[in-house]
Structure 1
């Protein structure tokens, strides 16, 4: 029997929720507003809102959005698209975008990230790429091994969200992010994901 994992999403685990604690740790402490773009059913938004952080989840699919949780909740949800966020300029302290870029117009969505983040605000983008050359194959093998290791003792979870194959290679994804959000940190992380963290210039 695989050991029981202490991961906070052990009962709702997939290659995205595995990184939710790491994403949350990158959000500036004391943030007045955090936005989760492409929030889906709101699982990450609610996690980011623990402890009272105000979080706004935005998703184009009205049917996927959670039911209004009332005034006691610090997580709110509205319909909207990544390319035209319903937010004022420089109004957001933290922004998360998990598996969104391959569904949208990349440049327009990342331009919106630049627009809405306050100086010093932090954006965290989790995404994936496709194999572009033989140079990507060793990482693919590592991803498979990492999946087998980290999945032990966890319950697989597949939320009802739109799925799409990656439209960019790993190298193209890295180039895109470094071009549109210059100065950020790109990491190819285990289990077919990259993590890009960007701080808006002061």
Structure 2
């Protein structure tokens, strides 16, 4: 069904964008939906993903933005952030949505170092169910998840048929999927060491939100 857990949290993530919107980097951008939302805020957006197929799809889906006044399409690049040198102290906002578990957790230091003074790093992460508390949150999420999926499916049926056609016309392209392995308590410990002062908040739909402000 057409309900996406990551898309559900886009408004929450966008509220973390600093007043000086400036430049942004979206890591593991997939087909570019969040990067396009950043671009519509007037930000100058770089977006990278290690999948060549999804980058091609992201470019196709974003071409129309260059025809929109005061909005420029994100610069999509096929790249693995663990093998790419990012400009130091450059970005006002760095986002990483449901992709950190595809790479070593200490990659957050690379993202941290790419932040300009006053910049914000936002991670929407995934974690596995390991503890009784994890299970309780999972149980709480199930009925909400079902209701959201049914609502999204009903909304999708009411849209014109052309609205759901992918930009490339080749069928829906999806980013590779990998199951998370690092439990949330360890994520909190690692984040506290590597990103001093960050906040980690558990969310529904098997996600967590990490926010770090570069006050240096």
Tell me the TM-score normalised to structure 2 length: 0.80
- Superposed CA RMSD in Å reads 2.3
Write the distance in 2 (CA, Å) between the matches of 1:92 and 1:130: 30
Cα 1:159–1:15 change in 2 (3 A) is farther
Residue pair 2:127, 2:184 contacting (<8 A) in 1 also: yes
Residue in structure 2 matched with residue 39 of structure 1 by the alignment: 29
Task: Work out which of the two has the higher radius of gyration on C-alpha atoms and give 1 or 2.
Answer: 2
Matched, 1:76 2:75: yes
> Partner residue of 2:182?
168
State the distance in 2 between where 1:70 and 1:135 align.
Answer: 44
Q: Encode CA deviations 1:125-178: one digit per residue, 9 max, x unaligned.
A: 011111222232211111213212433421389851110111111222222222
Which of 11, 15, 29 pairs up with 2:19?
Answer: 29
Can you list the C-alpha shifts for 1:71-104, whole angstroms capped at 9, x where unaligned?
9324111122222444311000000001111101
Stretch deviating more after TM superposition (144-153 or 83-92):
144-153
CA pair 29-159 structure 1, distance change in 2 beyond 3 A: farther
2:39, 2:7 → 1: CA distance? 15
Structure 1 alignment gaps of length 5 or more: 1-10
Partner of residue 49, structure 2: 59
TM-score by length of 1: 0.85
| Aligned counterpart, 1:148 | 146
* Dislocated runs of 4+, deviation >6 Å: none
Counterpart secondary structure, 1:121: strand
- Alpha-carbon distance in 2 for matches of 1:62, 1:176: 30
Structure 2, unaligned runs of 5 or more: 67-71, 157-163, 165-171
